[in-house]
Amino acid sequence: MIDARGQEALTGAAQAEIFQILRDGKPRTRSELATLTGLARSTVASRVDALLRVRLIAPVADAASTGGRPSRQFAFDGTQHAVLGVDIGATHVHLALKDLHGATIADVYEEIAVAKGPDIILGWVIENGRRLFKPHRARMTLRAVGVGLPGPVEHKTGRPVDPPIMPGWARFDVPGVLSDAFGVPTYVDNDVNVMALGEHHDYWTDVADLIFVKVATGVGAGVIIGGSIHRGVQGLAGDIGHIWVPEADGLECRCGSRGCLEAVAAGPAIAARLRAGGADIHDTADIVAAVRRGDIDAVREVREAGRIIGRVLTTCVSLINPAVIVLGGPIASVGDHLLAGTREVIYTRATPMAAGNLQIVSSRGNQDAAVSGASAMAIQQVLSVDSVEALVRDDA
Amino acid sequence: MIDARGQEALTGAAQAEIFQILRDGKPRTRSELATLTGLARSTVASRVDALLRVRLIAPVADAASTGGRPSRQFAFDGTQHAVLGVDIGATHVHLALKDLHGATIADVYEEIAVAKGPDIILGWVIENGRRLFKPHRARMTLRAVGVGLPGPVEHKTGRPVDPPIMPGWARFDVPGVLSDAFGVPTYVDNDVNVMALGEHHDYWTDVADLIFVKVATGVGAGVIIGGSIHRGVQGLAGDIGHIWVPEADGLECRCGSRGCLEAVAAGPAIAARLRAGGADIHDTADIVAAVRRGDIDAVREVREAGRIIGRVLTTCVSLINPAVIVLGGPIASVGDHLLAGTREVIYTRATPMAAGNLQIVSSRGNQDAAVSGASAMAIQQVLSVDSVEALVRDDA
């Protein structure tokens, strides 16, 4: 009933399924794969051979014998391909070489201001990326690069748009430059989305809806809905730092507007209040240091910032009913003071049903969340159906 | 290369695709369908025959001749199957018999209080549903029932949970009773989700992210993300009526808490303020009548309610960056006063980029949005792959 062209289209789709089934890491025999896909054993055998050739699966220890000759099992093997995860922050660059399981093979971190511009920053990324990968090139293939940038990114092109702390980066072709240098596709997103993805990928994969909030020089959120980053119609979803809040009424924000959440609850606002009280505190790093040494005023101000952010998040909880809220960024990572303020408000003000099962936690990934998310973004692309099919086709 | 069982599984999936392709209503020939699916012409021909037999497609006028014998075209035909859409409100029931295109064949509306309980209300639905369908049973098959209820519904079971205005309905098996009576599957959701679905289905299908807000005795939202209702981890997404707002500080809410949005911006709160000013206004219907006759105080209070709701929605806009906000319910449908207040605040306070492309509009479906959404929910199920496959299989 099926002609040659039809057979090809159909077996293509079902063959692609074989790898997607094996991605969970569970070893399976050829005959189990035939049952799961409905494909003929000969078709399964040739697809398994192809996946072995491109080194996306590997044979595992023999299956328990059922009397006859033991059947060979195969499972996803992500150790022979690599991705580069790149976390470009306001004042640092963090680069990690990872395999397709997300395991770190090597990484490098350096304090460099993003304001130095794309030539210097991306030059550093290219030089260090090549250096990290060199010792592994004999046994691994670099497949993709994922990048997080500290400012808004146009999703379609991967270019920074209107980036307030990134002079010289506006509309710079970040994916083009890195793809040329490394010879692989490059995916770019803003740092908060990338951190949300990293935190979800590493610690909360069983949760569908999660809000990640970063508190640093600004306040922003990454919104995960149904397991994926939700971007909204213009890619602005999660831009909660410029919500008007009564506590910031009249206060000027770096965005040019007044009354924004950032203008009262982010690092510069907390530092300004502490300075007004006589403290020698100028930036987020000073706040972190003060909290660490137990400065009572700093602790109080961070907790109050948590309360103000919590009031905004209470509305977010009612709107999307997430399972988890994660607080990240430097101010969230020093003690539980920001977390305590946020919890206090949300658990008091959110409806009892929505608050009852909501977890509010500090980031576990911390400084590694961004580089982990940038890698996860690249790995997701490498293991997608289209990408695996292209690899098998190019190899044939 | 494909054995019999594999061939069956594969052609099943590709055959299912034939109907999903035809759902857009565009007429196609058998040979176009063969090209689109990669299936053999003989397979396409037998699937087209099967879909004709179950009356989900129909032949259309002949294709323009290309010299030879003209090819017959086929398209989705939803006129031979029906669904019942049921909108159960606080004080009314609205029942519509629709075909699978969403066209209304007959409908009936009656003022009955939901507080009369499930026996009386569902008895009315069953009696009137049968009466509406009777004249059409010779030419149509009833395939499903969709119901909207004026209170929270457990998504998994379709049963009302903790319904404040629905005495006697708690955990009542609404889907069971209606499925037994009509002999078809029944799908139940709360009225706000159903209205959001109706508004999206009828007027905004090209939009992925939309928030529908109903303002009546309470305030609630239906959140559409990526074209589908977003429910959240406990099905509470959109429950914005009980968000704490400063304007309601200290005011008691019917939920037992204080300071809720509903306690200051819903019908009863507006009526109470107007009564305090000496007006003879007791409920939402009185407010609507007062606004309609141009009562200045009523107009002012409705506009102010719009502003308060707008402040909450500004946060929602920043969080999910929707393309459209739709205001519905009786208070939104009388003049543009609620809309004006909401727009004023959102366009002033939301970030310019997010507000720039955001449409804020009054419901176009109005009183028909709920019955339309209840029908749309049923139609989506009837036209799903699983449901179409079951129909074809049972017919064979």
Task: Give the torsion through C-alpha atoms of A55, A60, A63, A64, to 10 deg.
Answer: 180
* Stretch B126-130: mean pLDDT: 98
- Is pLDDT of B86 > 70? yes
Phi-psi region of B86 (alpha: psi -120 to 50; beta: other; left: phi over 0): beta
- pLDDT, position B11: 58
- Is pLDDT of B83 > 90? yes
Q: Which of A41-45, A212-216, B183-187, B275-279 has the lowest mean pLDDT?
A: A41-45
Q: Which residue of B has its CA nearest to A208?
A: B233
| DSSP code string of B159-182 | EE-S-TT-TT-TT--HHHHHHHHH
Nearest-CB residue to A38 (from B6, B231, B312): B6
- pLDDT, position A16: 78
* Stretch A171-176: mean pLDDT: 96
pTM of the model: 0.88
Percent of the residues in chain B that have a pLDDT greater than 70, as a whole number: 94
Half-sphere exposure of A306 (CA within 13 A, CB side): 31
pLDDT tens digits, B216-231: 989 999 999 999 999 9
The ipTM value here is 0.87
Confidence band, pLDDT 50/70/90 cuts, at residue B1: very low
Nearest-CB residue to B223 (from A226, A240, A319): A319
Nearest-CB residue to B38 (from A10, A37, A240): A10
Read off the DSSP letter of residue B62. Answer: P
Read off the DSSP letter of residue A292. Answer: H
Distance of CA A35 to the CA centre of its chain: 35
- Is pLDDT of A348 > 70? yes
Beta-carbon separation of A351 and B221 below 8 A: no
CATH number of B4-77: 1.10.10.10
Nearest to A132 by CA among A150, A105, A155: A105
Distance of CA A271 to the CA centre of its chain: 29
In the numeric block, the tokens 């049903």 are attached to A353
- Look up residue B258 and give its two tokens: 């204080």
pLDDT tens digits, B293-303: 999 999 999 99
- pLDDT, position A1: 43
CA distances, B95 to each of A218, B87, B138, B148 (Å):
51, 6, 20, 11
CA distances, B114 to each of B132, B157, B164, B186 (Å):
21, 20, 11, 19
* Stretch A290-299: mean pLDDT: 96
Interchain contact B213–A (C-beta under 8 A): no
- The C-alpha of A102 sits at a distance from chain B's nearest C-alpha, in angstroms, of 27
Beta-carbon separation of A37 and B314 below 8 A: no
- Cβ burial of B365 (10 Å; 0-12, 13-18, 19+) is buried
Q: How far is residue B384's CA from residue B328's CA, in Å, rounded to a whole number?
A: 29
Nearest-CB residue to A234 (from B1, B235, B321): B321
CATH topology match: B4-77 vs B204-364: no
pLDDT tens digits, B25-35: 899 999 999 88
- pLDDT, position A24: 87
pLDDT tens digits, A56-108: 999 987 655 555 666 889 999 999 999 999 999 988 999 999 999 999 999 99
H or E element that contains A340:
helix A337-349
Angle A43-A46-A52 (CA atoms, 0-180°, nearest 5)? 140
CATH number of A202-364: 3.30.420.40
pLDDT tens digits, A229-245: 999 998 899 999 999 99
Confidence band, pLDDT 50/70/90 cuts, at residue B68: low
CATH number of B204-364: 3.30.420.40
- For chain A, the 3-state helix, strand and coil shares in percent, each to the nearest 5, are 45, 20, 35
Interchain contact B385–A (C-beta under 8 A): no
Beta-carbon separation of A223 and B37 below 8 A: no
Asked if A345 and B243 count as a contact pair (C-beta separation under 8 A), the reply is: no
CB atoms < 10 A from the CB of B243, how many? 26
Distance of CA A302 to the CA centre of its chain: 26
Where are chain B's structural domains?
4-77, 81-184+370-386, 204-364
Interchain contact A243–B (C-beta under 8 A): yes
Angle B272-B278-B280 (CA atoms, 0-180°, nearest 5)? 70
In the chain, the amino acid numbered A332 is A
Nearest-CB residue to B353 (from A208, A234, A312): A234
- Is pLDDT of B3 > 60? no
Nearest to B86 by CA among B2, B27, B22, B142: B142
Chain B environment of A319 (Cβ under 8 Å)? 211, 221, 223, 237-238, 240, 315-316, 319-320
Nearest to A329 by CA among A230, A202, A160, A194: A194
Read off the DSSP letter of residue B367. Answer: G
- pLDDT, position B350: 86
Beta-carbon separation of B320 and A237 below 8 A: yes
Distance of CA A125 to the CA centre of its chain: 18
Q: How many A-B residue pairs are in contact by the CB < 8 A criterion?
A: 188
Q: How far is residue B310's CA from residue B340's CA, in Å, rounded to a whole number?
A: 10
Tell me the three state secondary structure of residue A53.
helix
- pLDDT, position B189: 95
Confidence band, pLDDT 50/70/90 cuts, at residue A4: low
* Stretch A310-335: mean pLDDT: 95
Chain A environment of B242 (Cβ under 8 Å)? 318, 351
- Domain B81-184+370-386, CATH among 3.30.420.40, 3.80.10.10, 3.40.50.300, 1.10.10.350: 3.30.420.40
Percent of the residues in chain B that have a pLDDT greater than 90, as a whole number: 72
Q: Which residue of A has its CA nearest to B359?
A: A233
* Stretch A191-195: mean pLDDT: 96
- The C-alpha of B316 sits at a distance from chain A's nearest C-alpha, in angstroms, of 7
Q: How far is residue A342's CA from residue A336's CA, in Å, rounded to a whole number?
A: 10
- pLDDT, position A162: 75
Q: How far is residue A131's CA from residue A3's CA, in Å, rounded to a whole number?
A: 51
Among B321, B344, B359, pick the best mutation site for testing chain A contact (most A Cβ within 10 A): B321
- Is pLDDT of B276 > 60? yes
pLDDT tens digits, B316-348: 999 999 999 999 999 999 989 999 999 999 998
Beta-carbon separation of B357 and A233 below 8 A: yes
Beta-carbon separation of A239 and B318 below 8 A: yes
Interchain contact B15–A (C-beta under 8 A): no
H or E element that contains A83:
strand A81-88
Q: How far is residue B127's CA from residue A112's CA, in Å, rounded to a whole number?
A: 74
The A73-76 sheet, strands edge to edge: A28-29, A73-76, A57-60
- Cβ burial of A181 (10 Å; 0-12, 13-18, 19+) is middle
* Arithmetic mean of pLDDT over chain B: 91
Q: How far is residue A395's CA from residue B366's CA, in Å, rounded to a whole number?
A: 58
Interchain contact B68–A (C-beta under 8 A): no
Q: Which of A197-206, B78-87, B101-110, B349-358 has the lowest mean pLDDT?
A: B349-358
Nearest to B147 by CA among B190, B117, B176: B190
Among A200, A206, A318, A358, pick the best mutation site for testing chain B contact (most B Cβ within 10 A): A318
Beta-carbon separation of A255 and B5 below 8 A: no
- The C-alpha of A339 sits at a distance from chain B's nearest C-alpha, in angstroms, of 20
Percent of the residues in chain A that have a pLDDT greater than 70, as a whole number: 94
Nearest-CB residue to A354 (from B11, B42, B234): B234
- The C-alpha of A242 sits at a distance from chain B's nearest C-alpha, in angstroms, of 7
* Stretch A339-349: mean pLDDT: 95
Sorted by sequence, the CB contacts under 8 Å of residue B35 that are 6+ apart come out as: none
Confidence band, pLDDT 50/70/90 cuts, at residue A386: confident
* Stretch B54-80: mean pLDDT: 81
pLDDT tens digits, B204-261: 999 999 999 999 989 999 999 999 999 999 889 999 999 999 899 989 998 888 899 9
Q: Which residue has the higher pLDDT, B94 or A365?
A: B94
Nearest-CB residue to A243 (from B10, B40, B315): B315
Q: How far is residue B114's CA from residue B102's CA, in Å, rounded to a whole number?
A: 26
- pLDDT, position B10: 56
| Distance from the first to the final alpha carbon of chain A | 28
- pLDDT, position B42: 86
pLDDT tens digits, A267-276: 999 999 999 9
Chain B environment of A243 (Cβ under 8 Å)? 314-315, 318, 349
CB burial string B285-318: b at 16+ within 10 A, e below: ebbbebbeeebeebbebbbbbbbbbbbbbbbbbb
pLDDT tens digits, B132-166: 999 999 999 999 999 999 988 988 899 998 777 78
- pLDDT, position A8: 58
- pLDDT, position A66: 59
- Is pLDDT of A39 > 90? no
